[in-house]
Amino acid sequence: MSKRALYSKLLNSPQWKKKRAIILKRDKYRCTVCDSNENLRVHHTYYYQNITKPWQYPDKSLLTLCEDCHIKYHMTCEVEIRIKKSKSKKIKPERKLSLVEIQEQRGLRIKKRVA
């Protein structure tokens, strides 16, 4: 099975659906860039070098994007950020950026939310 097929299968798992629901709720079911509430995706801002299940990423590494903003990330603004796992199983980033810094680097802005 190819990596893409395996990843697609993982995105249909109950674990990912639960994690996705948590992120959508956190972001108030709105795109964090344009505030749209249609065709929402949960976007990983980075991927581990080793194959990792999509629901194992920290919540702060995931954000809600509409389909258009998600495509824009991947087509025009994608910056690859790699994370290495050490032998002690602690995650050591080669370069650590906040979501706001990542979006600023990619030319996108998060709409500020009132809690």
Higher-pLDDT residue of 79, 53: 53
Q: Of 3-7, 15-19, 110-114, where does mean pLDDT reach its minimum?
A: 110-114
Give strand pairing partners of 92. 84
Decide if pLDDT at 65 tops 90. yes
Which residue in 26, 35, 97, 102 sits closest to 65, CA to CA?
35
Give pLDDT, residue 91: 46
Region 101-111: mean pLDDT is: 57
Higher-pLDDT residue of 39, 76: 39
Give pLDDT, residue 40: 96
What is the percentage of the chain residues whose pLDDT exceeds 90?
Answer: 33
How many whole angstroms separate alpha carbon 38 and alpha carbon 65?
9
Q: How far is CA 103 from the centre of its chain?
A: 11
Asked if residues 55 and 21 have their Cβ atoms less than 8 Å apart, the reply is no
Region 78-89: mean pLDDT is: 48
Q: Of 18-22, 78-82, 106-110, where does mean pLDDT reach its minimum?
A: 78-82
> What's the pTM?
0.65
Residue-averaged pLDDT of the chain: 75
